[in-house]
Amino acid sequence: MLQLSILTAALLVGLSSAGPYPKDVVDKLADASLVKWNDYLAKNPQGNCTIETAIKRREWSDLTPTERQSYTKAVLCLMEKPGLMTSTAPGAKSRFDDYVAVHIQQTPRNHGSYWNWDRYAKDPVNSPLFNGNESSMGGNGLKVAHSGIPIPGAPRPYNLIPAADGGGCVTTGPFKNMTVNLGPLAPTLTIKANPRSDGLGYNPRCLRRDINKNAAAVTTANYTLDLITKNSNVYWFQTVMEGQFAQGKWGVHSGGHYTISGDPAGDFYVSPGDPAFWLHHAMIDRVWWIWQMQDLAKRLTEVSMTRTMSNMPPSANGTLDDLSGLGVLAPDVKVRELMSSMGGLGGKLCYIYV
């Protein structure tokens, strides 16, 4: 049985990445680690979750153009459905905005397809993700004069991500007509203020981007491989991923966010209001998943840090029994349920990245 499952894993690995991009060093590590995932599950069965039944999360360019358009149509559909939290967040006009509003208040966890940073890092603006055709996530913003992204606390020259060639409204692709409703709260461009100080008021404006290869340069596979292989506890994994700004290291997390840049993608609180955010954060989840697979017995339940960001204001350590608190989006569940891709949430979370 185990033999058979390993064969299945090998088969899956062979089937993944049918697109034009060769496997990078991180893809190869993920492939090699899938056997560990499979073995762990064989010894610790979780409901119906097996490598065969697991949802296969696929990279953007490994989807067919038609599949990519199904994805963006689903996002546009969320934007057409009325929001559920207009009493607390008058700017949250749609179901899509509900995710943005809950992120402004807290931290969401929702993933579809993902964006393998390395594939597009050298030339993101001409990639299948951002080239602006109908099967992309929309193009760059129009070229407007704007300054770069300041990185407070970083030494020169790392204290500024230089501006790229966009900065204005997105005029191509599926989201060319989209309206951003919420925020800003921490804008990196000049944007009219939100009528409410919490950013949840109604503030309609165009989607703006500055697809930025200066930021993308720190998301190549060698950075991600180092992150995964050189940090053996979750504190350091998280810290290096977020960026060690005082050392001039932006981290793959900021690197991906500022590859999109603009409004709202460049805004720490409102960034999920750009649909490309979700593909970036799914990659964050994939990288964590690959990191977990290196030592499943320990890392499936390893949490660190306190309940407040950078412990400000000071708070208790986070635990596996803390509740997720996703507001109107989902019922509260314990954090431990969200940590496992092998049958968490009573079997609902059963997925691998291919």
Ligand X SMILES: *[C@@H]1O[C@H](CO)[C@@H](O)[C@H](O)[C@H]1NC(C)=O
Least distance from ligand X to the Cβ atom of residue 348, Å:
8
- Residues 180-209, interacting with ligand X (CB under 6 A): none
x/- track of binding to ligand X for residues 30-59 (CB under 6 A): -----------------xx-----------
DSSP state of 272: G
Rank residues 13 and 352 by Cβ distance to ligand X and give the closer one: 352
Q: Per-residue x/- marks for ligand X, 254-293, CB under 6 A?
A: ----------------------------------------
- Position 131 contacts ligand X (CB under 6 A): yes
**Encoding tokens for residue 134?**
């109908």
Strands (E), the chain: 55-57, 141-143, 149-150, 160-161, 167-170, 179-180, 205-206, 342-344, 349-353
Nearer to ligand X, 251 or 327 (CB): 251
From candidates 105, 140, 181, 220, binder to ligand X by CB under 6 A: 220
Residues near ligand X (CB under 6 A), total = 16
- Rounded Cα distance between 173 and 139, Å, is 6
CB 327 within 8 A of CB 85: yes
- Residue closer to ligand X, measured from CB, 124 or 128: 128
The reply to whether 65 sits near ligand X by the rule CB under 6 A is: yes
233 in contact with ligand X (CB under 6 A):
no
Measure the CA–CA gap between 178 and 174, rounded to whole angstroms: 8
Percentages of the chain per state (helix, strand, coil), in multiples of 5: 40, 10, 50
Structure tokens at 139: 């193009």
Q: How far is the C-alpha of 284 from the C-alpha of 57, rounded, in Å?
A: 13
* 147 near ligand X, rule: CB under 6 A: no
Residue 116 engages ligand X in binding (rule: CB under 6 A): no
CA 293, 296, 299 angle in degrees (round to 5)? 100
Could you tell me the smallest distance in angstroms from the CB atom of residue 145 to ligand X? Answer: 27
Selected binder of ligand X within 246, 317, 323, 332 (CB under 6 A):
317
Q: What is the largest CA-CA distance in the chain?
A: 61
- Candidate segments 6-14, 80-88, 112-120, 216-224, binder of ligand X by CB under 6 A: 216-224
Q: How far is the CB of 250 from ligand X (least distance, A)?
A: 11
DSSP string, 208-262: B----HHHHGGGSHHHHHHHHHS--SHHHHHHHHH-BGGGTB-HHHHHHHHHH-S
Closer residue to ligand X in complex, CB, 133/244:
133
Residues near ligand X (CB under 6 A): 47-48, 65, 128, 131, 133-136, 177, 220, 222-223, 226, 317, 347
